[in-house]
Structure 1
């Protein structure tokens, strides 16, 4: 079948369709689409960081000013007076209080970490009737305010003749913490159960499952619990106020209460000593967080994932 010359001429005279401009336009890549949102997110983080840092920057600056200029406007420490810190160390036994806080904080963090991890392993590994009910009762203890158990707990320590000692500040952690038990249990549930089954086949005991299999794998979560509890003990004022009377046993928060009463409100109005003591009490926690930041973030990011 032949095509006539007129048909060929007509088809040749028809203009070719123009390419679709929207179809030929290159699509934005994923980084290009997220670019503006990423910039806005980073800018929001920077603004939030500056807002949170401003009070601490002012605290450090005010602690380095001369006594008469502590509450002057601005963030520059003028007139500069670094001797305020030496004056604070001379006025009260800050090194002793720092040592007491360190001892109590380490004891509280280690005991609650080990006891909570042991209980959490039991809830995560063993299958027994009423397990969920018992775990719910453990979590329900978090609903009890500290004021409800304060007097009964004090009476127990009084009967044991351990008031005016540092033992009540940390010994209660030997029985674990509901929040940390929940945190560690969720982390343990993310571990493959085949690891424990294989260890049992090899003859590992139940305590061995915890120490030889689970314990090395949950170190990031354990570090989170350590940092949380050390910070809670370091900043705790209520328990030292209840149990401690001897100034040589004071922790740093309890000692700062003495500093505030003596040199702040109703005292000699030496606010530079109060502010210098506050900076000294804050710096150790900042240092600890930066040293453990990588492991801390890793533990927070992986806790709660159930595999």
Structure 2
């Protein structure tokens, strides 16, 4: 009697969508919601044009002649193109070259201080274990609610007692103690990175500083560059700080030197607004260049997941 052998096909297994597929679907849904329309582009063009009007007006005044300045007949669209104004501004009685160099020194010193201190303090709050660490972090964050005007006079008295008035030190040294916002950025970035990275490095014999220098620092590149851009932007155009602490004209930065151009005019005579606007353009162009070169790091800075550091 022949036996019939039959094979039963195994039941089909349903594959659950993985996390990557879920992220792709979520991304597609977001793109579908924010899909641009002709109305969107038209709105963006109109808003951009309105926001660019002051910049175009600045360029128009910077290229104007002295006769136009005296007659006060400025126009938004440039009618004159006196490019020699960009060289004349360095031929005034004011040391514009020195102003520019002072701004570079103060800004770079502040950037170095913020990057070094913010990275170390933020990493310590994220990884080190110590009693009262969370309470101390809350106190640090709470300092963001204190207006700068409240601490202005106590800081001046402190720096005066130290003999730092009329030097660059009050404008550079405080940046080596970071600030609450930058510490928060670094802490949030590091806290989202896998702790197994630190544990594996400790097995290899690295301490906390070694882990930070060899492993965490390369991963923190986007957020640290973003902090450097924020600090450079705030310091390059700072007017109040140099006005309080600097007395000598030779130590003033460009932001304060541009204001001094208006004081070179004679009585009952209009200030040389064309040269003032040239100085304003010199203040603006470096920041535009810095943002253009560093914008990809600003986009990569993902404090919610820390993914930018492990790409």
Q: TM-score range by the shorter chain?
A: 0.7 to 0.9
**Cα distance change on mapping 1:146 and 1:109 into 2, 3 Å:** same
Q: 2: distance between equivalents of 1:261 and 1:123?
A: 49
Determine helix, strand or coil for the equivalent of 2:155: helix
The verdict on how the C-alpha distance between 1:253 and 1:32 changes in structure 2, with shifts beyond 3 A counting, is: closer
Q: Partners of 1:97 and 1:64 in 2: how far apart?
A: 22
Structure 1 residues 131 and 235, CA gap change in structure 2 (3 angstroms)? same
| Structure 1 Cα separation of the partners of residues 31 and 247 of structure 2 | 63
**Residues 267 and 289 of structure 1: is their aligned pair in 2 closer, same or farther, counting only changes over 3 Å?**
farther
CA 1:134–1:271 in 2, change beyond 3 Å: closer, same or farther?
same
Deviates most, 212-221 or 48-57: 48-57
1:61 matched residue in structure 2: 60
Q: Are the counterparts in 1 of residues 126 and 190 from structure 2 also a CA contact under 8 Å? A: yes
Q: Which runs of 5+ in 1 are unaligned?
A: 1-28
Deviation at 1:213, TM superposition (A): 1.1
Quick check: 75-84 or 116-125, which moved more?
75-84
Q: Which residue of 1 aligns with 2:103?
A: 101
Query: Are the counterparts in 2 of residues 138 and 178 from structure 1 also a CA contact under 8 Å?
Result: yes
Listed one character per residue, the Cα deviations across residues 104-136 of structure 1 (whole Å, up to 9, x for unaligned) are 101001101110111100111123332221111
Residue 51 of structure 1, CA deviation: 2.2
Which of 134, 144, 159 matches 1:157?
A: 159
- How far 1:262 sits from its partner (Å)? 3.0
* Distance in 1 between residues matched to 2:190 and 2:298, nearest whole Å: 17
Task: Say whether residues 1:77 and 2:49 are aligned partners.
Answer: no
Rate the CA distance shift 1:148–1:86 in 2: closer, same or farther, 3 A: same
Larger Cα-atom Rg: 1
Match of 2:17 in 1: none
SS at 1:170 equivalent = helix
Distance 1:238 1:107 in 2: 18
Contact 1:264 1:274 in 2 (8 A): no
CA distance in 2, matches of 1:121, 1:265: 57
Q: Residue 10 of structure 1 aligns with which residue?
A: none
- Shift, 1:79, TM fit: 2.8
Deviations 1:37-92 (CA, angstroms, capped at 9, x unpaired):
44443333333322222211111122101123355454332232222222211112
1:232 to 226, 231, 234: 234
Query: What runs of 5+ residues in structure 2 fail to find an aligned partner?
Result: 1-27
1:98-247 matches, cutoff 5 A: 98-247=100-249
1:304 is matched with which residue? 304
Contact residue 64 and residue 274 of structure 2 kept, 8 A: yes
Task: Give a deviation string over 1:175-194, Cα, whole Å, max 9, x none.
Answer: 11111000111111121111
Gap change, CA 1:43 and 1:298, over 3 Å in 2: farther
The change in CA–CA distance for 1:234 and 1:30 in structure 2 (over 3 A counts) is closer
Which of 231, 234, 254 aligns to 2:256? It is 254
